[in-house]
Structure 1
Amino acid sequence: MRVLLRLLKSELMVFLMAATPLLELRASLPYGIFVLDMGYFHAFILSVLGSILPAPFILWFLPSVLSYLKKKRGFSTIAHWITRRTIKKSKKLETYKLWGLFLLVAIPLPGTGVWTGSAVAALLRIPFKDALLTCFAGTIVAGMIILLLSYHATLMV
């Protein structure tokens, strides 16, 4: 029973780390592999699922939340800043739409990932289904890149 609880705690840790902005699967996948000693495939699945978890909520609710906050004293400035910054950063994405969104999510660099991709897709009003599927595909590719880097890191040690 104790071993099962420890295993579930480890899996939950990887899953929640992947769902956290800035960390996402760039951190959760190596953490699962190197710190928690999970198998590559196991850590990959947990990281991808955790990473994609916030996407539908961001796609559904971000425009409404920002619209609401723009009308509220004290929050208006930050809501306008978030909108302007996201739109400014997504100019190239507008040209390539889904391919641009895919690359934004798939390239595992700081400032990219599911949170950013979903926010950009929501503010550019990319249809929900297209945005979610594109973010999911990008997450799988980002996970495979991190998985390859992690595998090569173990070969070097």
Structure 2
Amino acid sequence: MDSWTLLWAMILAFAPISEVRGAIPYLLIATSGDAVGAVYGLLLSVAANMAVPFAAFPILDVLDALAAKPWMPSVVKRLYGFLRGLGERKALGVRRGSYIALMVFVAVPLPATGAWTGSLVAYVLGLDRRKSILAIDAGVAAASLIVFAAAYLGIGLLKTLFML
């Protein structure tokens, strides 16, 4: 496996839209037949996705401070309001102080339930950052296992059905 494949997998894992839900299937397809490369890429992708809260919380702090400034363009304020509203809507299923619920929220491999949204939910609810990071990272690990199993079995099934 080449280093570009690893780089793209890490970018996919860190990106807000795909996260490990996109990186793991990409890795399994890009490294077909290379089990060592797939495991190495999987570990790097999970690590990249686990780094998300360390970037998300400072970004949210800066956005929160900038949104309060009178000179800030209204477009930025509306974008931040939209993001905060998204976090508040997603937070309805996560009670204040419930880190297990936050972990389960991140672990479910559905759209808009990854580490970025989990960080936003924890920020909106004002949860303790250290505990939130642990819960989010545990959720990322669980989501990675779920996505890996589903993608591995799905690719194997497709290969069997279409004799690839």
Hey, what's the Cα distance between the residues in 2 that align with 1:73 and 1:8? 40
Q: Could you tell me which residue of structure 2 aligns to residue 10 of structure 1? A: 5
Root-mean-square deviation (Å)? 1.8
Tell me what 1:109 maps to: 110
- Unmatched runs of 5 consecutive residues or more in structure 1: 1-5
Residue 64 (str. 1) matches residue 65 (str. 2): no
**Matched residue SS, 2:21:** helix
The count of residues paired between Structure 1 and Structure 2 equals: 152
The aligned counterpart of 1:73 is: 73
What pairs up with 1:49-60 in 2 under 5 angstroms?
Answer: 49-60=47-58
Identity %: 22
Q: 1:42 corresponds to which residue?
A: 40
Q: Which residue of 1 aligns with 2:26?
A: 31
Deviation of the 1:137 alpha carbon: 0.6
Q: Which residue of 2 aligns with 1:94?
A: 95
Matching residue's letter, 1:18: A
Q: 1:3 maps to what in 2?
A: none
Structure 2 counterpart of 1:66, one-letter code: D
Residues 18-39 of structure 1: CA deviation (Å, up to 9, x unaligned): 1011111111111011124353
TM-score of the pair, normalised by structure 1: 0.86
Structure 2 distance, partners of 1:55, 1:96, is 17
Give the match's secondary structure for 1:90.
Answer: helix
Q: Which runs of 5+ in 2 are unaligned?
A: 160-164
CA deviation after TM superposition for structure 1 residue 96, in Å:
6.5
Instruction: State TM-score, norm by structure 2.
Output: 0.83
Structure 1 window deviating more from structure 2 (138-147 vs 90-99): it is: 90-99
